[in-house]
Structure 1
């Protein structure tokens, strides 16, 4: 199933915690990108196809300020970002070099990029916040990317936060960080996500009424019957 507007709106109501649980039941344990923390508290949940950027360790003959003008550069990659994409930059967890600053983030925003996700750091933090581009990252660092990283390409398979990310996999980000939905599992998450959220909301109401957890979470047969009766009344 393509990631159309209806799918995006459905997934915006599904938390990263729910996504990881659904995928765990399918045998996928490694879908949460470590070190992807919201730069600004209260950023909205965002969903979009992954647009990948790949960094490798810095090599002095390649990672230079002159490389910023190369055809293979972060600047060139940004010009390929489609509207609604979530940029996922694999920076190998390097946090003492900022991969993007305010100017690059402003251009991503202008092109309609939905968010930036990286296991690395950003720089020019005040300016980046001013662009209003939603960012999930692993810290802030003043030095530029070439002090610690070499940019080598875009729209390739990458690793970000220990997770394998392929172009056009689906990324969902919220206050808990960034989770990956492999393209082949999108239909599964779309089918199960809203029901899981509905069920857990009902369980929270039951907890609020003083119900004990055994048999409630997870549900036993009797609790399931009560929940189904509740749904039938809606």
Structure 2
């Protein structure tokens, strides 16, 4: 899992900054396509990935009776630890809602930090009322079994075209959701925090009327000015 201090630091770093830093480290495919906030103004949310996976519906398996199976979304929710972010591989299907208000309410009650999916949810008014932060492609009235079969949890998934492994770190905000490989977390945090500080300084210079060439990115002169500004804080 991820400790609270790390969560607090990442809550201060935008997904835009994270994608830039990850790009500089050679990782281009980290932004989960289709995972957009379903509620405007959702706060930036951070947590370890708890993965769930759907496959195309098969009529003998995708039935209402499957909801009572030991291998079901219901059972997966009961295994979710507090503070995690549920990352659901729904293969981009948009005509069957993976979760509705009751499942989201249970996730919220268990302390799950958020839900990120390349699919859609249903019962959207109820989902919004639970307070659970959700990122996805939108909404659909039909249940998941109308188009999907749930197969497992806590295994590698492909969500929005991105490989997500259990316990990778997810950061989601108004720009969408980004995955940070668990093994790279501390290095990325250090680089991203410095990038945020630099860009805050650059913005202050822009607000004072400075032109962009040589400032963004900073040349040697502006880099020295930036380093000097840090010692004066």
Alignment TM-score > 0.5, same fold:
yes
State the partner residue of 2:170.
171
State the partner residue of 1:185.
184
Where does structure 1 lack aligned partners over 5 or more consecutive residues? none
State the partner residue of 2:83.
84
State the partner residue of 1:161.
160
State the partner residue of 1:118.
117
Q: Cα offset for 1:64?
A: 0.7
State the partner residue of 1:144.
143
Q: CA RMSD in A?
A: 0.7
Cα distance in 1 between the residues matched to 2:12 and 2:180? 15
State the partner residue of 2:61.
62
Provide the secondary structure at the position in 2 that maps to 1:50.
Answer: strand
After TM superposition, list the pairs within 5 Å mapping 1:1-234 onto structure 2. 3-234=2-233
- C-alpha offsets along residues 59-82 of structure 1, whole Å, 9 cap, x if unaligned? 111111110010110001000000
Q: Give the TM-score of the pair, scaled to structure 2.
A: 0.99
Alignment coverage as a number of residue pairs: 233
Q: Cα offset for 1:187?
A: 1.1
Cα distance in 2 between the residues matched to 1:214 and 1:94? 44
Where does structure 2 lack aligned partners over 5 or more consecutive residues? none
Provide the secondary structure at the position in 1 that maps to 2:79.
Answer: coil
Q: Cα offset for 1:3?
A: 2.1
Structure 1 segments of 4+ aligned residues over 6 angstroms from their partners: none
Cα distance in 1 between the residues matched to 2:70 and 2:227? 58
